[in-house]
């Protein structure tokens, strides 16, 4: 009798855990593939009429790296590409107004930064 109770409870526990993992656990999908990051980034770059070179996609670091003229750019695949390209344009505009050249822009971190040098 006790063997039947133990066996029944074991089967119920196994069934409940399988049900939980199949229906309640969120599937692990990279954010960039979920929201079509790369197609949006491509559209944002073409809309902004940016001429990029040396494109490198680093999915393991959740980053996209490329160059615009001699400026080194890093974007996050976890953030909205349209906002990042708009920020990028703002950095270049600020540099032009101040008579400086953009060396690098990193928008991948929580604290984005840009490095400028005098012309």
Domain membership of residue 40 as a residue range: 31-118
Cα–Cα nearest to 106, from 55, 64, 45 = 64
Domain-located, residue 60? yes
The pTM assigned to this predicted structure is 0.67
Distances (CA, A) of 1 to 4, 5, 102: 5, 7, 78
| CATH number of domain containing 51 | 3.40.50.11690
Helix, strand counts (H, E) of the chain: 4, 5
Tokens of 24: 């309640």
Q: Using one digit for the tens of pLDDT, what is the confidence trace for 50-84?
A: 898 998 988 888 889 999 988 999 999 989 999 99
Domain-located, residue 7? no
The pLDDT value recorded for residue 13 is 66
Domain-located, residue 39? yes
71: phi then psi, degrees, rounded to nearest 5: -90, 135
Q: Using one digit for the tens of pLDDT, what is the confidence trace for 7-64?
A: 677 666 666 665 555 555 444 445 545 558 888 999 999 999 989 899 898 888 888 9
- 77 C-beta neighbours (distance < 10 Å), count: 22
């Amino acid at each position: 009798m006790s063997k039947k109770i133990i066996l029944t409870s074991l089967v119920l526990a196994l069934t409940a855990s399988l049900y939980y993992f199949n229906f309640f656990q969120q599937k692990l999908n990279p954010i960039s593939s979920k929201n079509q990051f790369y197609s949006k980034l491509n559209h944002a770059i073409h809309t902004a009429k940016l001429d990029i070179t040396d494109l490198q996609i680093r999915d393991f670091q959740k980053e996209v790296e490329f160059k615009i003229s001699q400026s080194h750019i890093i974007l996050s695949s976890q953030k909205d590409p349209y906002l990042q390209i708009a920020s990028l344009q703002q950095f270049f505009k600020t540099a032009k107004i101040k008579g400086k050249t953009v060396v690098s822009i990193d928008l991948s971190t929580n604290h984005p930064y840009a490095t400028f040098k005098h012309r």
